[in-house]
Structure 1
């Protein structure tokens, strides 16, 4: 019998070795050629480099039905799957996928054949091992387009079977046979690492020497083939460091996830490149994310102020060119020495460079801005026929109607002070502007500049 079984074992070994050799050769071929060459061989496709697991183990239990050969008058249990199922089949296999569609499994099986009612008693065991090719049909047919839970596999291969009949005296030991197997497996994915499966397998055993019941020999002059089938349920466990197994790896899905990841990173980059204050420096690099629009900034978004007087140099230069040196003007305002022509004073007032500023939600005039009222007083006293508009503002924080009232109260407070200092009320006109939206709401410095009362003279 060894002479008959040895060729099958050698054939199985070469089948497995051939598959591994093909895998290795194709890998070497791809490495020794141009990196841009497209490789589409079925055993080592391009998606070899993708992130999926290849190994799995599977354990099943179920029932078998022996069809032939039996001694006349002997027959095995006929399964009644609903009323009285018989658990007389077990199998275990280790599988490796070469890609998402094709793989090999090494299978071990056990079956028990027992007498049915009306048959003389017997109980024999059949052991088998086989190597089978596996085809992921659900991947071939692109089932991922409508389901990622159910899969379908075909398996086909050859192996050895050994019949043990302890209750017989017609032979000793085991009846050794060749086997051919083929079947279909339904996969039901529970998680990325666990799958439940239902399998149906047909087995053809060649070179029977005795019947499955072990009571008689099979005549060499007749067909010595046997047949049986198994139905089983079980569980498959996937192994590997990657998220999914080759059974459930979809190229398009991976590309979609990569694209979504790329879009997310692009959105994050766009957010980083936002320039809230429009100074040309992205927010993620901008130290002062609230600089006044139009002024020059450095590479970190800070307004350029070389003399450190708190006024951007570009704005300071504009005022100096139009009204003279700003620092001198400030010093003159503080000291009261404002020897300007009527035109200069009127331009400064109407250009709203003379303002009375207020703290947040306050109507109390700050001490540092009383000089602005003195500047207006000097102009009005030098021009007795001139009248002035007193214009109240508030920042954008708070309720709109509340800010309208706040800006009015600020202007009324300034009018009250000017009247006490000797200007007739009929020369002053109250103007309520409410919220000043000319500066960024998010800028604390900008909001401070619009909490004010400005003037306009004729």
Structure 2
């Protein structure tokens, strides 16, 4: 059995070295816990409901996110209920080759948690019961079996998962009772002799342990969520064509046409996240022509006031409140979109010109996905901009950041609106 297990593991490592997958396929499993011999037992013999004394070792290979195979061995000892049953001790060994089903993926557990999983497994095998100090002093009892079980999972890291398992094992051709003091037959031969009755036996195990995932990919198949890979060539061509059309930027302002509300923006104009030419101080001179874009002034002075304006910060607050200074992100990402990084640069320049000002960075997410996950995502987005400002030379004591989770003020059904929700905003303290 050890030779076969070593061969199986060696094959898995060799296969993993050459295979190119989006997910890891191999895992090693170690669990330990309880057993319970249900029957047959000799009259008067009892086993504990939870008898501590079972260990499982296994290796598993997943063909895809839903199905795989597993080879494992289980060892342990059946014992009596102390004080209520005659003493006995039966050591057992079983080995099985099983089919594995990833119920967690089949039932879309990811809709409510990305850390909980559930596997099912069943398959045939063989076993041996070796008895200690029985009335027959017989040789070991060799049986065949079939088992079925379920394995709840909790992902600790991308490489390790905590698992529990409950398995029922059904023995066939079991010659002796589990205690070894009677033949597994309705009538005991006299004198004692093997009656060759091909009777059955049943027992179960309950264990707790760890899965160790092997491979170079980021995730194991147990937790991998694939995109649709089964589109036809025509469908793919149509989708690619549609994406290309969406990503066109007719006026070259950095905003793709599908988000651009002003497709004829003048060359060099500073635009908002929806592609509209910005006039931050509302003085009638667009920002790209305004020498003082956040302080109103007449066109004759290129948008700058005739008299010195000392309170520039009021106009920055106005620009922020009107949504002109935001950093935007792609779906499920904490990396800023290139076209919006200029807002962070402006905040940095403002803080350098106004050493007494402080800024809070507010992170938001759209309403897709679990709420607790979106809280963490929005905080990561805020932290990214926080670190961006620090790297530009701003003292950390002048900055704070916080994730506010989902922005429920936008239309959840609109793709454009959800893009507007994936952002960080700023507030002057």
TM norm structure 1? 0.45
**More helix as a share of residues:** 1
TM-score by structure 2 length?
Answer: 0.48
Larger radius of gyration: 1
